[in-house]
Amino acid sequence: MTVALADPLPVAIVGGGPAGMALALALHRQGIRCAIHDARSRRAGADDPRVLALSHGARQILEWLGAWRDIPHTPIATIHVSQAGHLGRTLLTAGEHAVPALGYVLAARDLIAALDRALEGAAVEYRENSRIDTARPGEDRVEFEGSAGAGAARLLAFAEGGIAGEEARRRDYGQHAVICRVTSREAHRNLAFERFTPAGPVALLPMGNAWALVLTCPDGDSARIAALPDAEFLALLQCRFGHRLRFEAAGPRAVFPLGLRYREAPVAARQVWVGNAAQTLHPVAGQGFNLALRDIWQLADSVGSAVRAAGDPGAPEVLAAYAGARRLDRRGAMGFTDVLVRVFGGGARWFGHARGAGLLALDLVPPARDFLARRMMFGARAW
């Protein structure tokens, strides 16, 4: 279906993944007409193998979108942060911070299904197999063309795709993530582990009756490690993680590259980028999609305010105000994950002792611990 160039939509969204669907629902809640254009089929996300750790703040946004209630999830009551080979650790607990849970672990495909059901209930237009190839911003609209024809909108929002070329700022950590489900003899008791090792972080997240594992590996070793027989893989995991848990079984494994990629400016003339189209973060501390949801909430609020004031959702002042409102949180989340990866990524033995002392000090200073927990749950809103 082609949008009439003489009557542009307020917002057209490129990408029908979780970020694009969440943005469409947020705009709908603000009374803003929009349409999703996705190059894939609508059910392409049904087999997404990823596991997400969503913060308490992300849950609040999904509740506002009407998509949270039906998502199977496992609460995180406690987060245990440590490093291999050194003393010192930090415990964060939900009770200490007066929230029902610090976060929630869920399958990406379950989130996608819940967002899709909410979109159907809201009758938001979803144009599958509709790839956008070119965009031409003009004075009062942006015109675009793709596999399904031509269209126009006041604002074109990119919610999917990589960041390439001169627009990209990047840091390559030389790492891949091997993800899978593992089981242990011990019950998880809603406890999550973030363990820093010389080979990279190991995250274990409670999920159902098992653990969701994110095992960071050097680039050259990731494919080999993912292909190991189960017994050898579990032995490697046991060596990396230590003996606080005794692992018994491992499921099918998938491999994803890790790095920091971001656009310096998430806006341009009548265009805005959110989610992975704006920034891709290392999964340490689970900040990526949580940051995307905060971007989406702010963008929908900015666009809604502009339209209610009889304004233009893609006007330069609206996009500039949105970018300014998101600057602190974006830079904070990117800097936070980047520092964690680099500070805990090896170094001399004395540096490991210093990191251990820092973890111990954090555990002994409640205000600092509260700041860290609230930063992870709410981003810059915590300040």
Crossing angle of the two packed helices 56-65 and 366-378, in degrees rounded to 10: 30
Q: For residue 95, what pLDDT is reported? A: 85
* One-letter amino acid for residue 14 of the chain: V
The pLDDT of residue 320 is above 90: yes
Lowest mean pLDDT among 1-5, 82-86, 172-176, 324-328: 1-5
Q: For residue 362, what pLDDT is reported? A: 42
State the residue for tokens 């024809």.
149
CA-atom Rg of the chain in angstroms: 21
Percent of the chain with pLDDT over 90: 58
In a domain, 342, yes or no: yes
More confident residue, 352 or 17: 17
The pLDDT of residue 371 is above 80: no
Q: For residue 364, what pLDDT is reported? A: 47
Q: pLDDT tens-digit profile of 95-129?
A: 887 889 989 999 999 999 999 999 999 999 999 99
In a domain, 4, yes or no: no
The three-point CA angle 203-207-212 to 5° equals 35
State the residue for tokens 């606080």.
244
Domain of residue 56: give its range.
9-167+259-382
Judged by phi (left if over 0) then psi (alpha if -120 to 50, else beta), residue 275 lies in left
Q: For residue 200, what pLDDT is reported? A: 82
Task: Convert 302-317 to b/e letters by CB count within 10 Å (16 or more is b).
Answer: bbbebbeeeebbbeee
* Total tally of structural domains belonging to the chain: 1
In a domain, 219, yes or no: no
The overall average pLDDT reported for the chain is 85
Q: pLDDT tens-digit profile of 246-295?
A: 999 999 999 988 888 889 899 999 999 999 899 988 776 667 889 999 99
In a domain, 222, yes or no: no
Greatest Cα pair distance in the chain: 67
- Cβ atoms of 157 and 13 closer than 8 Å: yes
- Our CA dihedral for 376, 378, 382, 383, rounded to 10 degrees, sits at 90
In a domain, 130, yes or no: yes
How many angstroms separate the Cα of 228 from the Cα of each of 17, 215, 221, 247, 352? 31, 13, 11, 15, 30
In a domain, 221, yes or no: no
In a domain, 232, yes or no: no
| CATH number of the domain where residue 280 is located | 3.50.50.60
In a domain, 76, yes or no: yes
